[in-house]
Amino acid sequence: MPRFLRLSRAFASRYGVPVVARVDPRVFTFRYFTHCLQCGFCHDWCCSHGVDVDLLHVDAIRREADALERFTGIPRARWFEPDVEEDDELPGGGALRTRAENGRCVFLNREGRGCLLHAYSLARGRDYHELKSIVDCLFPLTFEGNALCVADEVLDGELVCMDQGPTLYRGVRDEIRYYFGDACVAALDAVEARVVRACA
């Protein structure tokens, strides 16, 4: 099977970038546990190293700084690494990485589970996509060179919840719909059907 399969057309995200026109067929065959808050074994492993936050969402987080500091108890000076990584495929043209402290993302809820940005949004009845980055929400999928592909942590065998549960695609299908729309999901479903038939 080819390294990438073409979609029926290119699909731009709701931010204009990234754009996906191809897909790695392994997104339809690799599996992972998926239901993070029901997991009792990984201890939020995927939050160990922080996450790239596109500059569009960095700005959104900073606009909420006063309220976020009160909610999280974490001063804003500790939120991000200082250096911007420029990347035309990311909304805003680049990203800042969240800091990791004691082996965990600074926004990880250390008294419970999950992301404090997510919890803050839900506590206020808001859509978590307003503050959480596209990289974060699509994990363990990612994008590169106009392709939807498997994150390095999966390919390296580091993701501790591999080989159980839904496929990578099915696990984040609703997130793909949010960012790229119904037509993109329909195109991916069609490719998924081809891959499943080929693997049967």
Q: How many CB atoms lie within 10 A of CB 7?
A: 22
The two structure tokens encoding residue 180: 């790229």
User: Number of structural domains, the chain?
Assistant: 1
Q: How many CB atoms lie within 10 A of CB 39?
A: 16
Determine the average pLDDT of the residues in 132-151: 95
- What digits encode the pLDDT tens for the residues 82-130? 999 999 999 999 999 999 998 899 999 888 778 999 999 999 999 999 9
Stated pTM of the model? 0.91
Strand partners, 98: 80
CB distance 151 to 139 below 8 Å: yes
CA nearest neighbour of 89 among 174, 187, 22, 16: 16
DSSP letter assigned to residue 165: E
Domain of residue 53: give its range: 5-199
| pLDDT of the residue at 51 | 94
CA distance 153 to 118: 22
- What digits encode the pLDDT tens for the residues 160-194? 546 578 899 999 999 999 999 999 999 999 999 99
